[in-house]
Amino acid sequence: MPSVSSTSPIETDALIIGAGPVGLFQVFELGLLGIRAHVLDVLPHAGGQCAALYGDKPIYDIPGIPRCTGHELTQRLLQQAAPFAPTFHFQQLVSQLDRMEDGRWQVHTQHGLHFLARTVFIAAGVGAFLPKAPKIEGSESLSHAQWHYQLGSAADYAGHHVLVWGDTDAALEAALALSPSGSHAARSVTLLHRRDVFQALPETVARFRHAVAAGSVQLCIGQPLRVQTDGSRITALDIATPEGTTVLQPCDTVLVLQGLSPKLGPVADWGLAMERKTLSVDTESFATSERGIFAVGDINTYPGKKKLILCGFHEATLAAFAAAHYLHPEQKTPLQYTTSSTLLQQRLDVL
Amino acid sequence: MPSVSSTSPIETDALIIGAGPVGLFQVFELGLLGIRAHVLDVLPHAGGQCAALYGDKPIYDIPGIPRCTGHELTQRLLQQAAPFAPTFHFQQLVSQLDRMEDGRWQVHTQHGLHFLARTVFIAAGVGAFLPKAPKIEGSESLSHAQWHYQLGSAADYAGHHVLVWGDTDAALEAALALSPSGSHAARSVTLLHRRDVFQALPETVARFRHAVAAGSVQLCIGQPLRVQTDGSRITALDIATPEGTTVLQPCDTVLVLQGLSPKLGPVADWGLAMERKTLSVDTESFATSERGIFAVGDINTYPGKKKLILCGFHEATLAAFAAAHYLHPEQKTPLQYTTSSTLLQQRLDVL
C-alpha cells in the first residue's frame, strides 16, 4: 500500500528533479511535445551546478554560443522554456519515491511537497547541492535554532550574538544582513574565517570591509576548534588563531556558510540500476531500469557517456520522445521541426 | 593498389564531409582535443541545409538559443570553430573514398581535390545539395556551355541571348547580373517562370520588377516544353503559356535555377553499412562499419535517432573523443571542461 499523505498531492504528467541546464531543457522538449512539467530543485534558484559553481565563469562549448557564463546560460534556457510555463518548486529535496499501484510515481520532498507523477526525469547532475556541513567538537548535539546552514528568517537572529563562519559571497552578505542596519539585524555579528582573504566578489568584499571599519561587523581570523555551552545553549567557540594560540569567541548562534557540495542523496536509495554512483540508462530512450523514470545529464551513464551539458540536451530530447510514447502509446509522436511546424509554433506561442 | 593521383594529396588527421551545423561543430570538438580538420562541402558556403533551405527562417530548438535563423546559427558556429582554423573547400563533391594500405582514407572530389585522411567524418545531412536539374524535351543532348545550373563566369554569357528559368532569389539575382548594367552582362536576358509570382525576398523582387519596367530584363510567363536547335545549338524554347497557347522564346543559352535538392550521391557507393539511405552507427562512438569513418547528424541512424541539429552536436562530440582514441590509442583523452581547463583555454585562445 502506498503511504497516505495528509496534503493533497500535485498530479502531473511529468516531474523533473533538478533545475540545472539539462532539467530546464527537459521542460522545453517536453513542452514541444505538449507535456507540461513541474520542476524541483534543492537550490533556491534555477541553474544547478552551472549557477552554483560557475555562475560568473565562462563556458565555451555550448554549441552555437561561443562564450557564456553559467548565469547567462541559465537565463537563456529559462527564456526558451518560458512558453511552456513550468511550475518550479525550489529548496525542495526529494526524500522518497515510490511506485503506486496505478503505475504512477509518488514523490515526497523533505519540506512536505507531495506529487503523483506519471513520468519522472532525474536531472540531478552530480547530486543535490547541499550546504557543506563541517562538524566541530560539540556541534553535533546543537539544535537547528543555534546552528544554521542558511540565513533563513530575521526572527531567528533578533537579540542574538551571531557568528557567521565562511568567506563566500553568501557569508559576507549574511554578515552584512545581520549588522545593525541590515535586514536581519542581530545584537552583534562576527564573521569567522581562517585567513583575512575572501573568495567573494571584490564589490562584496569592499562593502564588508567598510562595515568592519565602521564597527558594525566584527572580524575574527582563525579556525573553530570546539563549541562551549552552558549545558544546552552555545556560549562561545574556541578558535585557533594563525599565531597558534586559542581564543574564546562569545556567541549564542552560529551560521555556517561554507559553500555548497553535491550529494547524491536519496537517489541512491530508490532501487534504480546504478553503476559507479550514476544511473544506468539505454541510449534509445534514456530510461532507467524503472518504467516511467528517465535519467538525463551528469547523473546517468551509458557506453561513451561524457558529462557535458550539450550531451544532456540530446538525452533530454530523446527522453521526451520516449516519455510521450509512454504517456500516449496509442498516439504517434512524429518528429516535427520548429522552423516549419505550425503545431510547434503554436505551442511556442510565436505564431 | 590505391589509384595514383597526379596532384600531391592533402594529408590530414581529420576530413569532415559537410559544412552544415553539425560539420562545423565537429571542427570545434576535434579542435578541443587538439585535432585539426579540413572541411568539404558541395555548396559555395558554410551552413548546409540550414543555410540553403531556411537561412532566413527562425529555428527555436537550439538549446540556449530561443530563436535564431539558419544564417545566424551558421555564423555562431563558424565563430565558435574559428580558433581551430579549419580549412574549408567549397563547391567540392566527394566522388571517391578508398582505404589505403596504411589504413588512411583516400578521398577524391569531382573538382580534382585529393586527400589522405586518417579519419573521415561524414556530416552530409540528407545528402549533397545539388541544383535541381529538370529535363525538358531536347535538353539532354545539350553541352554544358548552353545549359547551365549555376551562374559561373561572365565569359559564358557575353554576347548571348540568355534565358534564366526559375523564381528563387538566385534566379532573380542572376537575371539582374545578366542585364546590361550587371556583372555578367549578356546580349539579352529573359526570366522564365510559370507564373508572375516569385519565391524571392521582397527586396529582390522589387529590384527585379524595376529592371523589367526599365526594359533591361524581359519576363516570360509559361512552362518550357521543348528545346529548338539548329542541329547542335539552342535557338529557342517552346513555352506553354497560362492561356494554353504555345509561344517560341528565342535564346542561345539557358541558365536553370530551380533551387537545390539533396542527393545522397556517392555516399551510397562507399560500402558502408546502411539502413534506409542512412549510415548505421553505434551510439558509443558514432563510428560507421569502417574503421576511421564516423557519421554524424542527419545522415546517420541508430535506435532512437531523431534528425535534430542538437542531436548532431552530441554525436559530433562523442565521435571526436572516439577519433582521438583511434588516432592516439596510446594516449588517454580525459574529459576536460572549457570553464576550468587551462589546456582547453589555450587551444581556444582565450587565456
Model confidence pLDDT, tens digit, residues B271-301:
888 888 899 999 999 999 999 999 999 999 9
A284–B306 CB contact, under 8 Å: no
Fill in the DSSP letter of residue B65: B
Q: For residue A54, which residues of chain B lie inside 8 Å, CB to CB?
A: 339-340
pLDDT of residue B4: 44
State whether residue A77 sits within 8 Å of chain B by CB: yes
Q: How far apart are the CA of A255 and the nearest CA of chain B, in angstroms?
A: 30
**Mean of the per-residue pLDDT values for chain A?**
93
pLDDT of residue A62: 98
Nearest neighbour of A76 by CB, restricted to B28, B64, B318: B64
Please, are residues A116 and A14 in contact by the beta-carbon 8 Å criterion? no
Nearest chain B residue (CA) to A314? B311
How many beta carbons lie within 10 A of that of residue B139, not counting itself?
18
Residue A86 to residues A79, A246, B191, B285: CA-CA distances in angstroms? 11, 52, 52, 34
A338 contacts B318? CB cut-off 8 A = no
Judge whether A148 and A234 are in contact, CB under 8 Å. Answer: no
Residues of A in contact with B321 (CB under 8 A): 304, 306
More confident residue, B75 or A141: B75
B77 at A interface, C-beta within 8 A: yes
Give the SS3 label for residue B260: strand
Give residue B7's pLDDT: 65
Q: Are B223 and B239 in contact (CB under 8 A)?
A: yes
Instruction: Give residue A250's pLDDT.
Output: 96
Nearest-neighbour CA in chain B from A82: distance (Å) = 10
Smallest CA–CA distance, residue A32 to chain B, in Å, is: 9
Question: Grid coordinates in use for A112?
Answer: 512536505
Q: In Å, how far from its chain's centre is CA A285? A: 26
Identity of the residue in A58, A77, A317 whose CB atom sits nearest the CB atom of B306? A317
* Residue A20, min C-alpha distance to chain B (Å): 12
On the question of pLDDT at A324 being above 70, the answer is yes
Residues A63, B25: C-beta atoms closer than 8 Å:
yes
CB contact under 8 A, B58 and A321: no
Instruction: Give A230-245 pLDDT, tens digit per residue.
Output: 988 999 999 999 999 9
Residue A92 has a pLDDT of: 93
DSSP three-state, residue A321: helix
Q: Which of A60, A65, A348 sits opposite B64 (nearest CB)?
A: A65
CB contact under 8 A, B304 and A317: no
Separation of alpha carbons A304 and A309, rounded Å: 15
Out of B61, B285, B338, the one facing A32 most closely (by C-beta) is B61
CB A156 within 8 A of CB A253: yes
- Give DSSP secondary structure letters for A88-145: EE-S--EEEEEE-TTS-EEEEETTS-EEEEEEEEE--TTSEEEE-----BT-TT--TT
Asked whether the beta carbons of B235 and B229 are under 8 A apart, the reply is: yes
pLDDT value of position A139: 87
Grid look-up 559530433 returns B316
Give pLDDT tens digits for B220-271: 999 999 999 998 899 999 999 999 999 999 999 999 999 888 787 777 888 8
Is residue A5 over pLDDT 50?
Answer: no
Name the band, by pLDDT with cuts 50, 70 and 90, for residue A7.
low
Residues 235-294 of B with CB under 8 A from A: 283-285
Task: Give yes or no for a contact between A260 and A130, defined as CB atoms under 8 angstroms apart.
Answer: yes
Q: How many CB pairs under 8 A join A and B?
A: 141
What is the distance in angstroms between the Cα of A337 and the nearest Cα belonging to chain B? 8
Name the band, by pLDDT with cuts 50, 70 and 90, for residue A270.
confident
- Take residue A31 and report the three cell numbers written for it: 513542452
Residue numbers of B between 104 and 123 with CB closer than 8 Å to A: none
In the prediction, which pLDDT does B301 show?
A: 96
Which of B306, B340, B350 lies at the smallest CB-CB distance from A321?
B306
Q: What is the rounded distance in angstroms from the CA atom of residue B264 to the CA atom of residue B94? A: 11
Q: Does the pLDDT of residue B157 top 60, yes or no?
A: yes
- Is residue A107 within 8 Å of A117, Cβ to Cβ? yes
Contacts of A66 in chain B (CB under 8 A): 76, 79-80
Give residue B161's pLDDT: 97
CA distance B293 to chain A (A): 17
> Which residues of chain B neighbour A75 with C-beta distances below 8 Å?
none
Average pLDDT over residues B204-216: 96
Chain B contacts of A70, Cβ < 8 Å?
Answer: 339
Strands A223-229, B94-99: parallel, antiparallel or unpaired by DSSP? unpaired
Residues in B touching A319 (Cβ below 8 Å) = none
Inter-chain touch A350–B76, beta carbons under 8 Å: no
| Bridge pairing between strands B234-240 and B223-229 | antiparallel
Q: How far apart (Å, rounded) are the C-alpha atoms in residues B137 and A8?
A: 75
Task: For an interface test with A, give the residue of B80, B342, B350 to mutate (most A CBs within 10 A).
Answer: B80
How many whole angstroms separate alpha carbon A164 and alpha carbon A177?
11
Choose the weakest-confidence range: A287-301, A334-348, B47-61. Answer: B47-61
CB-based contact B66:A76 (threshold 8 Å): yes
Dist CA B117 CA B131 (whole Å): 28
**pLDDT tens profile B1-42:** 344 445 689 999 999 999 999 999 999 999 999 999 999 999
Q: Which residues of B touch A296 (CB under 8 A)?
A: none
| CA separation for the pair A317, A31 (Å, rounded) | 11
With a CB-CB cutoff of 8 Å, which residues 45-64 of chain A face chain B?
54, 57-64
| CB atoms B317 and A308 under 8 Å | yes
Assess: ipTM above 0.85. no
Contact A299, A274 (CB under 8 A): no
A132-179 pLDDT, tens digit per residue, is 888 898 888 888 789 999 898 999 999 999 999 999 989 999 999 999
| B135 exposure class (CB count in 10 Å sphere: 0-12, 13-18, 19+) | exposed
pLDDT of residue A6: 52
Element spanning B10, H or E = strand B10-17
Q: Note the pLDDT of residue B330.
A: 94
pLDDT score at A351: 87
Residue in B closest to A297 by C-alpha? B314
CA-CA distance, B177 to B163, in Å (whole number)? 13
* Calculated CA dihedral for residues A19, A23, A24, A25, nearest 10 degrees: 170
- CA dist A249 and A190 (Å) reads 9
Residue A264 has pLDDT above 80, yes or no: no
For residue A70, the cross-strand partners are: none
For A108-124, write each residue's pLDDT tens digit: 998 899 999 999 999 99
- Report, as an integer, the average pLDDT of A253-259: 94
Give the per-residue pLDDT at A27: 98
Least confident segment among B48-57, B78-87, B175-184, B317-326: B48-57
Q: Nearest CB to B63: which of A32, A313, A348?
A: A313
User: Is the predicted pLDDT of residue A58 greater than 50, yes or no?
Assistant: yes
pLDDT tens readout for residues A62-98 = 999 999 999 999 999 999 999 999 999 999 999 889 9
Please report the pLDDT score of residue B266 as a whole number: 75
* B310/A311 CB distance under 8 A: no
- Put simply, whether B326 touches A (Cβ < 8 Å) is no
Per-residue pLDDT of B93-152, as tens digits, reads 998 899 999 999 999 998 899 999 999 999 999 888 788 888 888 888 888 789 999 898
Chain A residues whose beta carbon lies within 8 Å of the beta carbon of residue B322:
304
Using DSSP bridges, classify how beta strands B274-275 and B128-131 pair: parallel, antiparallel or unpaired: unpaired
User: What is the side-by-side strand order in the sheet with B278-280?
Assistant: B274-275, B278-280, B300-301
Look at the alpha carbons of A152, A153, A154, A155 in this order and tell me if their dihedral is positive or negative: negative
A15 Cβ under 8 Å from any chain B Cβ: no
Q: Give the per-residue pLDDT at A222.
A: 96
Minimum Cα–Cα distance from B83: chain A residue: A66
Q: How far apart are CA A16 and CA A122, in angstroms?
A: 6
Tens digits of per-residue pLDDT, B328-340? 999 988 999 999 9
In the structure grid, which three cell numbers stand for residue B41, read together? 562541402
A77 to B64: CB separation less than 8 angstroms, yes or no:
yes
Residues in chain A with CB shorter than 8 Å from the CB of B311 are 314, 317-318
Q: How confident is the model at residue A3 (pLDDT cuts 50, 70, 90)?
A: very low
Contact (CB<8Å) B73/A64: yes
The pLDDT of residue A4:
44
**DSSP designation for B2:** P
> How distant is the alpha carbon of residue A202 from its chain centre?
25
Distance between alpha carbon A221 and the CA centroid of its chain, in Å? 30
The pLDDT value recorded for residue A75 is: 97
Closest residue in chain A to residue B305, using alpha carbons only? A284
Q: What is the pLDDT of residue A303?
A: 97
N- to C-terminal Cα separation, chain A: 47
Looking at residue A164, its amino acid is V
- A325 in B contact zone (CB under 8 Å): no
Q: What is the pLDDT of residue B3?
A: 43
Q: Which one-letter amino acid corresponds to residue B119?
A: T
